[in-house]
């Protein structure tokens, strides 16, 4: 996950219900009187469905009356509880639908993922929803993607410092990887697929015993420990999430790896020293294009003349802003880049791109595993936060599955080396050895 978009918080982070009331009145107590269904309500609903390309969806009014523009049986229905919710959803669905769904002013009958897939296909069609796209991209929806040193820490805490106990309920139990797994066999468990991803990354980096590795954005530290234990390297891993760093240090100590893995609670821009390999898994989404040259400078000074690098990131096929609701509620400061947007990282200092792989469908499957585990632990999560939080995160996870399935989001792994380095493999055989 990256992931393409996301949520809200607990402990030092404000629960979802509070900003919803503050930002636009989405509390259930502020629901407008439904009244009778008007001809204008039906007309707007039909125009909206037509703009989406007449998908197999229906809109159900508070009266129970249903509107649809496709003759086929709907795969899902959006049940709208009041007229205010209807108008907010129709005028700016990207921004408002998530909030309305989170507080149950809108509900979905049928499969939530299928509903979102149908709507995303409509949004991705260049001929559809021009007015709505303008609303989506207006000044009110612009993301907080500056990601300065101060902003980055605030944004990361919003998403990742929700509490380790929360993520332990639905991530893999082996390495706590909150990034795309790798399924060479689709029947793999999420634990098996995450370990397969770690090995896939290590093979691309061509790690050998004694190598020094630096990791930018290490999450809960699973990759660093895996590299040290199975590839005989030493690792310095940087992260600005306090809770994640504490977790990672405790795991390294318990596994007898504290002498080979150092977890540094600091920003990637402060990386120092020289290393044989640079790796970043799921961090670039948090960096922002305006800081890519700064990241390139970090890699330039960190890598030895024969050093290797790999960046693993959620991305897009064409430039686009972060989903407005996800940016506000789940994933502040996020920006999934295109391959073109990533190029300054490599071109600035003449790095050679050696391998590009797209694991889009692997991320969709990863998210399916996460959502299933999330749903099995709903009662525990609701006790930790509240029902609105549960609905928001379920929407975030389901929406992410849909985005990767329909191609709105991609997952890029880019391996690179110095431009003058000729110590390169002559085939891709090393990537797939067992």
| DSSP per residue, 367-405 | HHHHHHHHHHTHHHHHHHS-HHHHHHHHHHHHHHHHHHH
Residue 39, H or E segment: helix 39-51
pLDDT tens digits, 274-310: 999 999 999 999 999 999 999 999 999 999 999 999 9
Query: Mind listing the pLDDT tens digit of every residue in the chain (434 residues)?
Result: 433 333 332 322 233 333 343 344 444 545 556 789 999 999 999 999 998 999 999 999 999 999 999 999 999 999 999 999 999 998 889 889 999 999 999 999 999 999 999 999 988 765 555 545 554 454 344 444 455 444 444 444 444 457 899 999 999 999 999 999 999 999 999 999 999 999 999 999 999 999 999 999 999 999 999 999 999 999 999 999 999 999 999 999 999 999 999 999 999 999 999 999 999 999 999 999 999 999 999 999 999 999 999 999 999 999 998 888 998 888 888 899 999 999 999 999 999 999 999 999 999 999 999 999 999 999 999 999 999 999 999 999 999 999 999 999 999 999 999 999 999 999 999 888 76
Q: How many CB atoms lie within 10 A of CB 350?
A: 10
pLDDT tens digits, 76-86: 999 999 999 99
Q: How far apart are CA 227 and CA 211, in angstroms?
A: 10
Measure CA 236 to chain center.
24
Name beta bridge partners: 238.
216, 264
Q: How far apart are CA 235 and CA 250, in angstroms?
A: 16
Going from the N-terminus, what domains does the chain have, and what CATH number goes with each?
A: 17-141 (3.30.1050), 149-431 (3.40.50.150)
């Amino acid at each position: 996950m990256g992931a393409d978009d996301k949520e809200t918080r607990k402990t030092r982070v404000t629960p979802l219900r509070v900003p919803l009331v503050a930002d636009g009145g989405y509390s259930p107590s502020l629901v407008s009187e439904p009244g009778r269904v008007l001809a204008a309500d039906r007309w707007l609903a039909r125009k909206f469905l037509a703009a989406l390309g007449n998908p197999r969806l229906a809109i159900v009014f508070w009266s129970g009356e249903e509107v649809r523009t496709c003759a086929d049986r709907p795969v899902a229905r959006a049940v709208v509880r009041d007229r205010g919710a209807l108008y907010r959803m129709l005028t700016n669905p990207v921004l408002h639908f998530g909030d309305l769904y989170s507080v149950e002013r809108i509900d979905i009958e049928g499969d939530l993922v299928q509903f979102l897939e149908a709507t995303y296909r409509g949004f991705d069609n260049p001929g559809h929803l021009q007015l709505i796209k303008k609303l989506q991209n207006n000044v009110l929806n612009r993301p907080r993607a500056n990601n300065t040193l101060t902003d980055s820490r605030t944004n990361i805490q919003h998403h990742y410092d929700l509490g380790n106990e929360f993520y332990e309920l639905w991530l893999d139990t082996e390495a706590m990887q909150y990034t795309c797994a790798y399924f060479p066999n689709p029947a793999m468990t999420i634990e098996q697929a995450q370990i397969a991803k770690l090995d896939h990354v290590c093979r691309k980096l061509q790690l050998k015993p004694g190598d020094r590795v630096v990791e930018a954005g290490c999450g809960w530290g699973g990759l660093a420990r895996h590299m040290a234990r199975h590839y005989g390297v030493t690792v310095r891993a940087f992260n600005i999430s306090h809770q994640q760093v504490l977790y990672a240090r405790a795991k390294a100590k318990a596994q007898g790896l504290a002498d080979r893995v150092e977890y540094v609670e600091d920003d990637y821009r402060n990386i120092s020293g020289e290393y044989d390999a640079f790796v970043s898994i799921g961090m670039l989404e948090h960096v922002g294009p305006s800081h890519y040259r700064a990241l390139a400078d970090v890699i330039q000074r960190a890598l030895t003349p024969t050093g290797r690098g790999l960046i693993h990131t959620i991305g897009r096929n064409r430039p686009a802003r972060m989903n407005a609701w996800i940016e506000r509620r789940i994933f502040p400061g996020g920006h999934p880049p295109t391959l073109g947007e990533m190029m300054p990282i490599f071109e600035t200092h003449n790095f050679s791109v050696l391998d590009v792989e797209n694991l889009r469908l692997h991320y969709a499957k990863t998210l399916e595993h996460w959502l299933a585990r999330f749903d099995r632990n709903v009662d525990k999560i609701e006790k930790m936060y509240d029902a609105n939080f549960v609905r928001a995160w379920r929407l975030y996870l389901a929406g992410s599955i849909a985005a990767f399935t329909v191609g709105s989001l991609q997952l890029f792994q880019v391996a690179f080396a110095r431009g003058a380095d000729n110590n390169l493999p002559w085939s891709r055989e090393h990537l797939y050895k067992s």
